[in-house]
């Protein structure tokens, strides 16, 4: 291949990789014919670890196809970016996690792949049938995609995985995937306009007083003994002078919040973007990890003030109890399926750009390697985003909030053919559709929560995204 063609087609397959793909495609067709079902076929190709894989996906996406980006830059430069659909599943209802896990297992059975292999990517709404309103139409209550193209980067290595599901009738020898790889573009992320001619308008979906009144009603229920904690969210809308490009918004989040799980899931003119400090679950074989996160204080540019705010959070009885509720629930959920569960003795401060939280790392040795998707379903929603007890708190949430959370506070992440994977909790997020952005942030309410203080904390969380959209 000439120098010019390498520059024009940076991800085009070599002759050797094309031959490897064709051979694997033929083997997949033979298996599909023999077993009378679709067979997953994929190849891994090593790429330059300096590649901005999310930028490649966002520059290369077609108008109607699905795309997915997940990064945690501080964790060895971790990035997973995916494009296109080789196969997909959607589901709703209380058993959606189990159904999705079974679909991934069935489709991945007998896959022909390299050691790195394909990954399923996607997420789940907060509620079993959430995302029913018009703005969430591209986001099912449960939605996992096996992408055609996936990039993986971590600890100085990077790979491109090309994937298709072949049948007995498949006859192109993998040529379609090779063409797709050759069409991928290496381009920088677009920049935000620092001084737009027309300014965006910001409005609360409901007056702030509505949020404070909901908190008051919640604390009355808690003090009456009906429940111990409930999380209430608020929606703020941004109306821009033109269509909002999710790429520079996502780029801004991963730059400002390198310790967070920065995610972007989309199709067409709809995109769900955010930067979450909260891991729901990570599974590696029989080992599972999670973090109980609750309690919030703002950050300060003054180190002394910032330390004071952190110490105030660590010594707050209200925040410590809110955080302990989350820890105890996670331990109770994991205990029946684990050999042992270990939580840190004391919470630590989890500091991100604009706020800080109390966090307790929790590890477990699983008795059996339950699929990551099923573990996510067992843990979701934790009291950090739902409430305690769940059977009392969850019905109260829509009644007091008056909004459809959609994917806000739901799990977003990935799983592989071995059923390992990780999901974060979709916090500090916005749903982008055309020229509108719907921002969501929530607060954990306990008996002595003060409406004005909770509103102030909520405004601080919204500042994760508002500056990038206005």
* Active site members: 229, 278
Q: Using CA atoms, how far apart are residues 228 and 63, in angstroms rounded to an integer?
A: 46
Q: Using CA atoms, how far apart are residues 283 and 51, in angstroms rounded to an integer?
A: 27
CB distance 181 to 13 below 8 Å: yes
In this structure, how many other beta carbons lie within 10 angstroms of the beta carbon of residue 339? Answer: 10
Q: Using CA atoms, how far apart are residues 401 and 209, in angstroms rounded to an integer?
A: 12
Q: Using CA atoms, how far apart are residues 61 and 266, in angstroms rounded to an integer?
A: 10
Selection from 252, 260, 261 nearest residue 69 by Cα: 261
Q: Using CA atoms, how far apart are residues 397 and 383, in angstroms rounded to an integer?
A: 12
Q: What is the secondary structure of 159-209 as a DSSP string?
A: EEEEEEEE-TT--STTHHHHHHHHH----PPPPP-SS-SS--EEEESS-HH
CB distance 293 to 357 below 8 Å: yes
Q: How far is CA 18 from CA 7, 44, 45, 97, in A?
A: 19, 11, 10, 36
Residue with tokens 């750009």: 353
Query: Could you say which DSSP state residue 457 is in?
Result: H
Selection from 412, 155, 101, 126 nearest residue 281 by Cα: 412
């Amino acid at each position: 291949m000439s120098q010019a063609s390498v520059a024009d087609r940076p991800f085009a397959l070599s002759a050797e990789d094309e031959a490897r793909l064709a051979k694997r495609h033929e083997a997949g067709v033979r298996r599909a014919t023999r077993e009378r079902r679709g067979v997953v076929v994929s190849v891994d190709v090593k790429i330059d670890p300096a590649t901005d894989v999310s930028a490649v996906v966002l520059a290369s996406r077609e108008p109607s196809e699905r795309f997915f980006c997940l990064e945690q830059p501080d964790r060895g430069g971790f990035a997973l970016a995916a494009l296109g659909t080789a196969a997909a599943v959607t589901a709703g209802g209380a058993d959606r996690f189990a159904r999705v896990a079974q679909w991934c297992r069935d489709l991945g059975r007998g896959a022909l792949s390299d050691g790195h292999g394909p990954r399923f990517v996607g997420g789940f709404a907060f509620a079993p049938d959430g995302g029913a309103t018009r703005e969430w139409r591209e986001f099912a209550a449960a939605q996992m995609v096996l992408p055609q193209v996936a990039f993986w980067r971590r600890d100085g290595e990077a790979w491109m995985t090309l994937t298709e599901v072949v049948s007995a009738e498949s006859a192109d020898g993998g040529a379609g995937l090779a063409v797709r790889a050759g069409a991928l573009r290496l381009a920088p992320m677009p920049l935000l306009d620092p001084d737009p001619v027309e300014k965006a308008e910001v409005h609360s979906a409901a007056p702030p007083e509505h949020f404070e009144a909901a908190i008051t009603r919640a604390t009355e229920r808690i003090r009456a003994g009906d429940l111990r904690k409930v999380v209430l969210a608020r929606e703020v809308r941004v109306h821009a002078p033109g269509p909002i490009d999710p790429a520079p918004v996502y780029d801004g989040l991963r730059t400002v919040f390198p310790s967070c799980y920065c995610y972007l899931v989309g199709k067409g003119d709809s995109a769900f973007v955010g930067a979450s400090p909260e891991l729901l679950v990570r599974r590696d074989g029989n080992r599972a990890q999670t973090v109980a996160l609750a309690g919030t204080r703002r950050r300060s540019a003054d180190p002394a003030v910032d330390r004071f705010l952190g110490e105030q959070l660590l010594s707050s009885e209200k925040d410590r109890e809110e955080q302990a509720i989350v820890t105890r629930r996670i331990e109770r959920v994991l205990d029946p399926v684990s050999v042992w569960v270990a939580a840190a003795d004391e919470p630590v401060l989890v500091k991100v750009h604009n706020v800080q939280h109390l966090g307790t790392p929790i590890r477990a040795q699983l008795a059996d390697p339950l699929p990551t998707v099923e573990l996510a379903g067992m843990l979701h929603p934790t009291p950090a985003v739902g409430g305690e007890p769940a059977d009392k708190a969850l019905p109260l949430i829509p009644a007091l909030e008056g909004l459809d959370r959609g994917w806000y506070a739901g799990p977003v992440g990935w799983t592989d053919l071995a059923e390992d994977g990780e999901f974060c909790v979709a916090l500090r997020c916005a749903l982008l559709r055309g020229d509108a952005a719907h921002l969501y942030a929530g607060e954990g309410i306990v008996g002595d929560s003060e409406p004005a203080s909770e509103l102030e904390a909520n405004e601080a969380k919204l500042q994760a995204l508002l500056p990038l959209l206005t």
